[in-house]
Amino acid sequence: MHLIYLDMKLLNLIKGFFVLLIISFFPVHGKNILVGPNIGYWGSPGGSFEVSLLDLNKKFPMGFIIGAGYFFQNNPGNAEEARRIFINDNTGGVIQKDGTILMTYFDITYPLYRSESFIFRLTAGPRYAKHTANFAFLGDNEVFDINSTPYGIGAGIRFDFELSKNFILKLGTGFDVYEKTQLGGHGKFYYDPDSIDDNPRQNYTYEDADKAIYQPDKFIKFVIGIDYRI
């Protein structure tokens, strides 16, 4: 029991040492932490909310951005093709369709240029998206969703303009690329890029499903936002 107690005490001391080491190397304080929303176009119109931890150390001035966003699609795909590929061969009904993209992202940042009121940064990092394409055939009692959850990677640039001590205007642009991933819905038919773990309807292929559903693929980003320095 005494040995266990000593081991736990030693472990806590080691943990405390590493915490102090990290804090001393990355002195996190109020001016480093920013929170705020963005609006704009990220493959589709929408908005996001970010927490930024920037300029961690003068000798190594990297930073991190964690964000989550919600984006809208007026046209998530070809409704008739989606119906045939994922559901059945029925025809008829008045088509209504829309799509949503729920996105989370993590960026590493690095400042290339700074002045008293302006900073120009490079940004890059991984992405994760949940895409839902909704199709309804009104009058024919047919409503269904097609889902995918691709991972991706993105890079871009960000311009920070200091408006006051606590508020920063941010402008960003960039480019994202997503992997091809499984497409499926509430029905029993789904399609996998490698055609191994899938259950196609009739003789349709993943290429057919991918053409019918406009899932995340390659995105150009233009956003504007305001950050508040905590």
pLDDT given at position 6: 42
pLDDT given at position 31: 65
Is-contact 56 28, C-beta < 8 A?
A: yes
pLDDT given at position 15: 52
pLDDT of residue 17 exceeding 60:
no
Q: State phi, psi for 113 to the nearest 5 degrees.
A: -150, 140
111-121 average pLDDT score: 92
Give residue for tokens 């992202």: 105
Enumerate domains of the chain plus CATH numbers.
28-229 (2.40.160.70)
The mean of the pLDDT values for the chain is 87
62-66 average pLDDT score: 92
pLDDT of residue 3 exceeding 50:
no
215-228 average pLDDT score: 95
pLDDT band at 91 (very low <50, low <70, confident <90, very high): confident
| Chain centroid, CA 208 distance in Å | 25
Is-contact 230 30, C-beta < 8 A?
A: yes
Give burial (CB, 10 Å; 0-12/13-18/19+) of 215: buried
pLDDT of residue 28 exceeding 60:
no
Is-contact 39 223, C-beta < 8 A?
A: yes
pLDDT of residue 12 exceeding 80:
no
Amino acid at 205: T
End-to-end CA gap in the chain: 45
Who wins on pLDDT, 197 or 123?
123
Q: State phi, psi for 15 to the nearest 5 degrees.
A: -60, -45
Who wins on pLDDT, 133 or 14?
133
Query: Which pTM value belongs to this model?
Result: 0.82
